[in-house]
Structures are given as C-alpha cells and as structure tokens.
Amino acid sequence: MARYEDKYWWSNDGLRLHYRDFAAYAGNDARPALLCLPGLTRNARDFANLAERYAGAWRVICPEMRGRAESAYAKDPMTYVPLTYVQDLERLLTDLALKRFVAIGTSLGGIMTMIMAPTHRDRLAGALLNDIGPTIEKAGLDRIRAYVGSGGGYPTWVHAARALAENQGDIYPGYGLEDWLAMAKRLYRLNNHGRIVLDYDLRIAEPLKVPGNEAGVDMWPVLTAFRDFPCLFLRGECSDIMSEATACRMLETVGNSAELVTVPGVGHAPTLDEPEAVAAIDRLLERVLARA
C-alpha cells in the first residue's frame, strides 16, 4: 500500500482537521500536488486506490472536511456548507504553501473546486469534476436528503455491506459482496460499543433541510475559469445528479481545455477506479505535465 502521513490543520473557528499526505518521490516533488476532495458523506479513504496508483509520481493530499472521519465535528451544524469547507481548505493551502495543485473533486468536492476556480487560476494546474456540475438534478437531491443523517448501526461489517447493497445497488449494479465490504469500510467505522456506524456527524444533513438552501448561487459563470487549465468532467451513465444535458453544456462552455467522459453502468458517483475513469485521469495528468 502507498504510505502516507496523518497530518492536521486548524480551521478559522478552531477545529482540528485531518488530512492524509502521500509524498512524491525525489525528482517529482516539483509537480503540482493532487488535492483530492471527497463527497458529502465521504472521507480520505475514498481516495486510497487513487493514491495507490499515483503517489510517488505525484504528491497526493486527501483532506477530510469538518464533521468527517478524523476531522473534528462542528459545534454549529450550519457551518456544514460549501463556503465554510472552502474557507477551511484555504487555511490548509496556506499552511502548506501549496503553489500548484490539481483539484480532484467528487460531488461536494467538485462544488468546492468550482467555488475556488475563479480565485485560484494561477494555482490550479488542472481539475477533475466527478459527477457534479452547476446544475444538480432534483431527483438526486431528494435521494440525498432522504438518506444523509440517518443513523443507526450494524453488528458486523457484512451487515453494513448488505445494507449498502440494498440501498445503493442501482448505483453500482455490478458490485459483489467484496465490493460492498470495501465500500462499507470507507463509509463506516467501528465505534467504542463494537457497532459499525457512519463515519460522519449526522448533523451535516441539517443545512439540507433549510427551505431554499439547495438553490445556492448560479455556478455556471465560474466555468469560464476552467478554460485556463486542463480539466476533466466525469459523469456516471446512470447519474441522478448530473444529467447528460448538463455535462454537454459544461463541455461546450469550457471548450478545448476540457474532456467529458461518461463512465458506463454506474450512478452517482463513479469511484474513480473504473477503467474508463483511470484512463481519463491518466490523460488529464499527461496534459497537466505537458503544460508544466
């Protein structure tokens, strides 16, 4: 397995936040870092396989947002919103003095990438938006609201894996039990009472319940910033978050600096381990190096 260090930084409001740092080999440390930003309920473990592929050749940094995994839970649940996550991330970028990076953002991580893009054109060497765009489909939002923040626990990992299979089988129809077990170990943790529980603060759901909060701001204008660097738009073929029409409009808006790849047979969101996704990420990083 790729080796990493567990490291920490502090938010503006005093939360101790965690990230995994996979070093680059000597000679590669001048390359931009790969900054991996996870989805709403996810954490650094989602990028373990990606780090296995690229660590050493690249520095791979996997932050965990407040309220997830080893990052502290917020006192005020209304800080569980993208703008606060970006403020937290800005502190990390400052602490690391990170001059250049490739943002790899899944879902919420992609929203964070879109927010940062206009103000970080000189620092973004490339970007991947994984199954997310400026327009989010209502069906997907409704599905997310229905499960985020639902607690409970399981007596064994197999029970947790089978629950995931029941709830998300239509998203990953090709998965077997081993795949669901691997996903369970990314999404859940073993608590002090021996129960398998979700590895995030269940209160991250509270901002989603505020009427009208889903509307946010119009994100389409920020896409013009993506014309300045190589970018990749990934979409799950069966996604209920990112429509084909949105993906095509994104490609048309950004133009020649972007590539759009649809990952067949999966919903929201591709894991970045699918052959089509791996090949597309390889091409993105080749374009980043060609511009270095």
Contact 40, 148 (CB under 8 A): yes
What confidence score (pLDDT) does residue 195 get?
Answer: 97
pLDDT over threshold 80, residue 282: yes
Share of the chain above pLDDT 70, in %: 98
In a domain, 171, yes or no: no
Q: Is 251 a member of any domain?
A: yes
Closest CA to 129 of 55, 37, 40: 37
pLDDT, residue 53, reads: 98
- Residue 248 · residue 254 · CB < 8 Å: no
Residues 185-193, mean pLDDT to the nearest whole number: 96
Domain membership of residue 136 (yes or no) is: yes
- pLDDT of 144 over the 80 cut: yes
Question: Given a cut of 80, is residue 184 above it in pLDDT?
Answer: yes
Q: Where residue 211 falls among pLDDT bands split at 50, 70, 90?
A: low
pLDDT digits 0-9 by tens, 38-57: 999 999 999 999 999 999 99
Question: What is the CATH number for 56?
Answer: 3.40.50.1820
Say what the pLDDT of residue 151 is.
77
- The band of 1, judged by pLDDT with boundaries at 50, 70 and 90, is confident
Distance of alpha carbon 216 from alpha carbon 213, whole angstroms: 6
Mean pLDDT of 175-196: 96
pLDDT computed for residue 213 by the predictor: 56
**Side chain identity at residue 91, one-letter code:** R
Task: Tell me the pTM.
Answer: 0.97
How confident is the model over 183-194, as a mean pLDDT?
Answer: 96
The conformational region for residue 27 under phi > 0 = left, psi -120 to 50 = alpha, else beta, is left
**Mean pLDDT to the nearest integer, 146-151:** 86
Q: What's the confidence (pLDDT) of residue 214?
A: 53
With 60 as the cut, is the pLDDT of residue 77 above it?
yes
3-state secondary structure the chain: CCCCEEEEEECCCCCEEEEEEECECCCCCCCCEEEEECCCCCCHHHHHHHHHHHEECECEEEECCCCECCCCCCCCHHHCCHHHHHHHHHHHHHHHCCCCEEEEEECHHHHHHHHHHHHCCCCEEEEEEECCCCCCCHHHHHHHHHHCCCCCEECCHHHHHHHHHHHHCCCCCCCCHHHHHHHHHHHEEECCCCCEEECECHHHHHHHHCCCCCCCCCCHHHHHHHHHCCEEEEEECCCCCCCHHHHHHHHHHHHHHEEEEEECCCCCCCCCCCHHHHHHHHHHHHHHHHHC
Q: What is the mean pLDDT of the chain?
A: 96
Taking residues 259-270, report their average pLDDT: 98
> How many Å apart are CA 122 and CA 32, to the nearest integer?
12
Residue with more model confidence, 150 or 8: 8
pLDDT-based confidence at residue 161 (cuts at 50, 70, 90): very high
Residues 228-245 have a mean pLDDT of 98
**Residue 262 located in a structural domain:** yes
Total tally of structural domains belonging to the chain = 1
User: According to the model, what pLDDT value does residue 260 have?
Assistant: 98
pLDDT tens string 78-135: 999 999 999 999 999 999 999 999 999 999 999 999 999 999 999 999 999 999 999 9
Asked if residue 174 is part of any domain, the answer here is no
Averaged pLDDT, 216-236? 94
Tell whether the model's pLDDT for residue 215 goes beyond 90: no
State the residue range of the domain holding 262: 5-148+204-291
Residue 232 falls inside a structural domain = yes
- The pLDDT of residue 216 is 65
In a domain, 117, yes or no: yes
Does residue 170 belong to any structural domain of this protein? Answer: no
